[in-house]
Chain A
Amino acid sequence: MARITVTVDGVTYEEEVEPRLLLVHLLRDRLGKTGTPIGCDTSNCGACTVMLDGTSVKSCSVLAVQADGCDVLTIEGLAEGDRWHPLQRAFHEEHALQCGYCTPGMIMAALDLLRDDPDPSDEAIRHGLEGNLCRCTGYSNIVRAVRRGAQTMSGDAEAVRGR
């Protein structure tokens, strides 16, 4: 067992974990952060994407021990109370989700994309999201939502950081 300290959505946790425990299982099963779902076992689908120290990672492909001392932002930490993050609003406005299972990962991947490229072309959006699969939407509205989110976030450093 290993003792780790990890901050998730602003709360610091100390946990005893098996080295093999996946970060996503730490989040879901131990910390109750069930907003981050699991969609595959080969890191293809991206449903479990979270921000780890400010960049997107697939939490199914990170060991909890590797996140020791790190800061994790999940979909649950994105809104401030009832005030949604611009990307959450944009996904809602553009009907960029249906079953919503890919949505947490998709929004986190989009957040990462906009950190680098605040005004991406549609092609850049599509490539930036290539590690996140959606089976419902055909992606058209997701691309629109990211574009809309980018416009809203323009110049808003807090939103770009995710808080």
Chain B
Amino acid sequence: MTEELDAGLVGRQIAESGMLGEPAPDRHEVGAARRRKEDARLVTGRTHWTDNHQLPGMLHVAFLRSPMAHARIVSVDTSAARGLPGVVAAFSGHDLAAEQGGLPCAWPVTEDIVLPEHPPMAVDMVRYPGEAVACVVATDRYRAADALEAIEIDYEPLPAVLDMTAALREDSAKVHEAGNRAYTWKYAEGDIDAAFRDAPVLIERTYVQQRLIPSAMEPRAVVAQSEGDHFTLYSATQIPHILRIMLAQVTGIPEHRLRVVAPDVGGGFGSKLQVTAEEVLVLLLARRLGKPVKWTESRSEGNLTVHHGRDQLQRVALAADADGRLRGLRVDLLADMGAYLMLVTPGIPILGAFMYNGIYKMDAYDFTCTGVFTTKMPTDAYRGAGRPEATFAIERLMDELAAELSLDPIEVRRRNWITHEEFPYTTIAGLTYDSGNYEAATEKALALFGYDKLRAEQSDRRDRRDPVQLGIGVSTYTEMCGLAPSRVLGSLSYGAGGWEHASVRMLPTGKVEVITGVSPHGQGHETAWSQIVADALGVPFEDISVLHGDTAISHKGMDTYGSRSLAVGGIAVVRACDKVKEKARHIAAHLLEASADDIEFDGGTFRVRGTDSGRTIQEVALAAFAAHDLPEGVEASLDSDATFDPENFSYPHGTHLCAVEVDTETGATKIRSYVAVDDIGKVVNPLIVAGQVHGGLAQGIAQALYEEAVYDAEGNLLTTTMADYLLPSAADLPEFVTDRTETPATSNPLGVKGVGEAGTIASTPAVVNAIVDALRPYGVHDVPMPCTPERIWRAVQGATS
């Protein structure tokens, strides 16, 4: 067919050289367990981490960090540091005050929220331990580290503010002049007083969502470089696009002269969804010194100063009828903001506000959240961001309700959940769940788990008074993801929209470049987007490259968080493909001398309906490149841009079952088996999906059992290293059994929902429910997280003594 194509000399050369791509073999890529394209560089060490950058003349910055939780800075003397070998400059916060601006908060959730100035480097006050108070720029990182020790700082210590309840009292020391209450946000629906009045069953509990350290394996790193009045910033970030806009605002560098690149990024889990002090300062230093500047954090620095997650005090009350039917739910939250409001700090608990009702129907719901300032590292997004906390509370309460009524925890859920015939269903929290089938996921999970058999073993162990008790934990979760419909974000006072962008470029040789506005850091977008495009355009998987994470290439986007990449960004890719196909159809019609209405597209070839006459999409791309013979009004080249703004969130759901053995003598727990059946709608790549679920489970289980950021009474962080902040290794986690049910989302053409956070959201309550279930014969109703051996032992002691 190609010979007939008038594509000029270059076109003929392309065609004859065999470079021109051919249609894909007849197979469906979407749904296939494709091995990842990303792996080739990652398994061979040919990676592109930010810290790998070595630029000519590059300088290294090290930050001196406050050893105090709360203090007035009396004086900073950097003069001795300046004189040391290899030291190029040393600065205090005062030195940078005029140009450093303030770190942004993009989510002021209420009109009257307290938004304190947040200097990237502390000037007069430090408000959390680890806050940068000075820096040294030197010719290498060793000399920069040495010179920090020559800086002298006088502090006037102030009282640490650590406990949220105490912080709200009148007599508390103040973190900020305006007081320690950042905001109070409320939501109410239904007659809550009626629901609680004379309720036959009332369950009131207080749960603590402990403070977590996200602990992405790659520590943060930033490299900034100036080229005249243009700047490039490399950062281990999840959000190159948002970061560029924010850095422009903070530093005054015009947006068009600032390029932000997120190269290979080693995990984020929300922790790299931030505009950090270090990003601002490294950029300012590169501007001031006219040299490339690099900063790479150490783990102990990161544990102090990468934003933390969770840290909420949940006071919850559930009213139910005698048969277990839910009447109403009251939630009163205190959310620890830390010392400042960072990018989306105040909004995190509000994301949870819509999830406390879970998958259940009820008459009334009342939610209040108060954000509280303390002298700790600010909190912000961590995997799940608000939804794990909400899910934990409701799923713990459902187990408590079951225990109260001596019902099986599955049964009490059945009596309350939205049945599959009831979708779409508008919940008490005002969301419209578009689809789901809780019955199906639960049935599948029960079968895989061997629920009845484990219950029989549990009963046997109880009868034997076995010192090792067996507990079974249930979590029938849902979550809202695919963040987010722009109009909803607007109504919640969020600073931007939630759309996503993609563009698709057919190259002259018929190969495809896909540009995506989401910014992967381990998820596998290059592979999954290739699968989507391969099916949409009929081109081979191998002929597609996915470009991302560089604002000079991917010029617009909203980046990666909130399990949004596929359900928003993936749909933008589909739309961009649709536009390419539409344009190509017109060109093909012209080439085939047919009407566009008579052209059909199948398997990568445009054909005149009912004939053999056709053009492959690659041939059309070549013709569009040569542009020798295009239809009137059609522009040269075959590419497109598209954005997608969802009308609704997506709502993954599932049933997780966990069996734990609890050693009542030592308090040790061991996960005996874990079954996760998730319904994330249609699946693009089941291999990637399983991986996301596994990793999510590990983090959720780790919250239940191991992780906690601990500050001492003076406000010092005790868990600054991985020796103190316990992360599970392979030896600490079980093999997971994962499976799926598939109820397509109705809110997007792929029917996909999102899977990045589901495992984390579901698993924490499943594990804690299992531990409490094991200990019910001892009269135990709760074990605070993390459920350490000592806490379990104490729970048993407390209940039996």
Contacts and interface: CB of A to CB of B under 8 A. Distances in A.
Do A and B touch, yes or no (CB under 8 Å, in the complex)? yes
Interface of A: 18, 20-21, 25, 28-29, 32-42, 44-45, 47, 74-76, 78-79, 84, 88, 91-93, 95, 97-104, 107, 122, 125-127, 129-143
A132 B217 contact: no
Contacts of B32: none
10 contacts: A33-B45, A34-B49, A34-B51, A37-B218, A99-B265, A100-B42, A133-B727, A136-B217, A138-B696, A143-B735
A135 B266 CA distance: 10
A10 to B, nearest CB: 14
B47 A34 contact: yes
Contacts of A41: 298-300, 721
Interface of A is mostly: loop
A40 B142 contact: no
B430 interface: no
A36 B698 CA distance: 24
A93 B38 CA distance: 12
B217 A75 contact: no
Nearest to A45: B722
A159 B694 CA distance: 29
A75 B45 CA distance: 6
A143 B42 CA distance: 18
Nearest to B43: A88
B494 interface: no
A129 B729 contact: yes
A13 to B, nearest CB: 16
Interface stretch (B110-118, B396-404, B520-528): B520-528
B723 interface: yes
Given A35-B47, A129-B729, 4 more contacts: A75-B43, A88-B44, A97-B42, A138-B695
Contacts of A143: 730, 735
B269 interface: yes
A122 B735 contact: yes
B733 interface: yes
B214 to A, nearest CB: 8
B729 A78 contact: no
Contacts of B47: 34-35, 37, 100
Contacts of B521: 99
Interface string B38-80: 1111111111010110100000000000000000000000000
B216 interface: yes
A100 B694 contact: no
Nearest to B722: A44
Nearest to A132: B729
Interface stretch (B148-156, B192-200, B618-626, B683-691): B683-691
Nearest to B736: A140
Interface of B: 35-36, 38-47, 49, 51-52, 54, 140-142, 215-219, 264-267, 269, 298-300, 521-524, 687-688, 690-692, 694-699, 721-723, 727, 729-733, 735-736, 759
A35, A84, A107, A143, most chain B CB atoms within 10 A: A35
Closest 5 CB pairs of A and B: A35-B45, A99-B522, A100-B42, A101-B266, A138-B694
A107 B47 CA distance: 15
A44 B545 CA distance: 36
B46, B267, B736, most chain A CB atoms within 10 A: B267
A78 B44 contact: yes
B522 to A, nearest CB: 3
Nearest to B687: A95
A35 B46 contact: yes
A148 to B, nearest CB: 13
Contacts of B140: 29
B764 to A, nearest CB: 14
Contacts of A129: 729-731
A29 to B, nearest CB: 8
B45 A34 contact: yes
B44, B46, B691, B697, most chain A CB atoms within 10 A: B44
B521 to A, nearest CB: 6
A115 B529 CA distance: 38
A122 B730 CA distance: 10
A130 B731 contact: yes
Contact of B218 (A42, A99, A132, A137): A99
B216 A135 contact: yes
Nearest to B699: A135
Given A34-B52, A40-B299, A132-B729, A95 B36 contact: yes
Contact of A130 (B43, B141, B730): B730
Given A35-B45, A79-B44, A42 B299 contact: yes
A36 B140 CA distance: 19
Contact of A95 (B691, B721, B723, B759): B691
B44 A76 contact: yes
A135 B45 contact: no
A140 B298 CA distance: 28
A135 B521 CA distance: 12
Given A42-B721, A99-B216, A140 B694 contact: yes
Contacts of A127: 730-731
Contacts of A39: 217-219, 299
A109 to B, nearest CB: 10
B264, B298, B729, most chain A CB atoms within 10 A: B729
A142 B691 CA distance: 10
B694 A135 contact: no
Nearest to A100: B42
A140 to B, nearest CB: 5
A75, A76, A92, A99, most chain B CB atoms within 10 A: A99
A84 B49 contact: no
A130 B722 CA distance: 13
B723 A44 contact: yes
A40 B732 CA distance: 19
B754 to A, nearest CB: 16
Contacts of B216: 99, 101, 135
Given A100-B47, A136-B695, A92 B36 contact: yes
A133 B267 CA distance: 13
B730 A135 contact: no
Contacts of A102: 217
B38 A100 contact: yes
Contacts of A125: 730
Contacts of B264: 99-100
B46 A137 contact: no
Given A34-B47, A35-B47, A88-B43, A99 B735 contact: no
A97 B39 contact: yes
A135 B39 contact: no
A84 B721 CA distance: 34
A20 B91 CA distance: 26
A45 B42 contact: no
A101 to B, nearest CB: 3
B267 A98 contact: yes
A92 B736 CA distance: 20
B723 A42 contact: yes
Contacts of B694: 137-141
Contact of A135 (B54, B269, B523, B524): B269
A141 B691 contact: yes
Given A99-B267, A101-B217, A143-B735, A92 B49 contact: no
